Chains A and B, each alone.
Chain A
Amino acid sequence: MRLDVLNRGYGPGTRLLFALIRLFSRHPVPDAARLVFYRPDFYGSRAKEFTHEAMRGPSAWSVGDRELMAAYVSQANESAFCIGAHSATARQAYQDGPKVAAVLADLESAPVEDGLRATLRMLGKLTREGKAGAEDMRQVLSAGVSRQQVEDALAVCAAFSTTDRLADAFGFEVLSPEGFEAGARYLLKRGYR
């Protein structure tokens, strides 16, 4: 990563934890995980709490839907690390790789429900243009999405608006396909806390 403290600035307990993760997962600790262990009182602890609530907290959206939203927002931000991580997690959550690939290739023709499609379209616009209007929201609501679901989707977007930026600013190393699959298994088992 672009800051040496994020590569080497960890105490002995954290370094031991990283070594154990490498040993048991047989993959290096992803930079996304390393970041939240650096001075966790400043960022990591509260960031994990918010992201976990958005991605795994109560919602009418499934975990797969929310991981797909994370991948879609990350694609709009062109954030290679987060596209890899969350498309892998969405594929595993849905147990449907072709669906995730279709959404990321062409949302309009992808085999997803209209409500999810309208929600992803709105998140993509908000992410790319930095703004959204009442008409954008009316289109999502008229596709059968509840107000609460829109709010839940905006929380996912907020979480990845932050993480995507940090991934690209700090320079997270893009993992191998196997590394992303291992990370996805962890996120589905343990979440973000």
Chain B
Amino acid sequence: MTDKLITAAIVVVGVPAVLIGYIWLTEQVIRILPEKQKPRVRPWLWMAPALAFLALFLVYPMFGTFLRSFQNHPGTEFVGLDNFFWFFGSADALSALKNNVLWLIFLTLFVVGFGLLVAVLVDKVRYESFAKSVIFVPLAISMVAAGVIWLYMYQYRPPGAVQTGTLNAAIDIFGLGPVPWLQVQTFSVNTFMLIIVMAWMWTGFAMVIISAALKGINPELMEAARVDGATEWQVFRGIVFPLLVPTLVVVSTTMIITALKAFDVVFTMTSGNLNTNVIANQMYAEMFKFGQYGRASAIAVVLLLAIIPIMFFNIGRFRAQEAVR
């Protein structure tokens, strides 16, 4: 107990002391420099601790992962591209990859589509903030909890028994079902059921951002169009939508990355059974269950390589927007 208190004291006093000490030190260093150099050096010195942490906790492990992806399972010798050949030759890994493509396309479509729809519709009503809060709340729920909630929604009981799952109880009223939602593999229905859970969570996020962009549009533009006799649909098609495109692109890229990282919902709801696996779960299993560090690293590298173009695209868009300002 006492050693914990001492540690606590050191941390509480030490961390601010080190931070303040560091800023003071940089100012001493900058003081010696010629006046012209000062503004150029200062930001780098201030960023240095963050950059060091970034290098230690992000860049170094990334190179480590690259290295590991070429090594055998305990990491004792190099095996060339074997881990990548395994990935693209394994039926399980390819099924996971296929599911990730479904996630990427449909999660993005659902989230951006519904987010846009809700943002535009609630913009026209009086109880806007209430409606937005309701849609936004699921984002505050942990993904595991969301998975458990939706397990109840999708619950299946044999025909004839009382349907306790929300969805099956609902269709039971019309004499339909029950449908084992998470077991139907035709048209990947079970994967879509998982995507819906994630879309339910993230629609609020898209809605808030799109709604903010919507408020930023000059109302005079729309007013002018209406005066000229444009219908509401024409106003949306011709003015609102084009002005929202940059925002939609940002939300879409965020959702694409979210889709590629999908893990929790699949883990809690199906554990990847019945062809619902995604690559993040495959990576987790290879790493923590099977001890296949090489293969897990190879999957991480594939995931990283898939995300990099999207990141560059995103950065490119930011630069373009900055240039416009």
Partners in one complex: no
Binding site for A on B (CB under 8 A): none
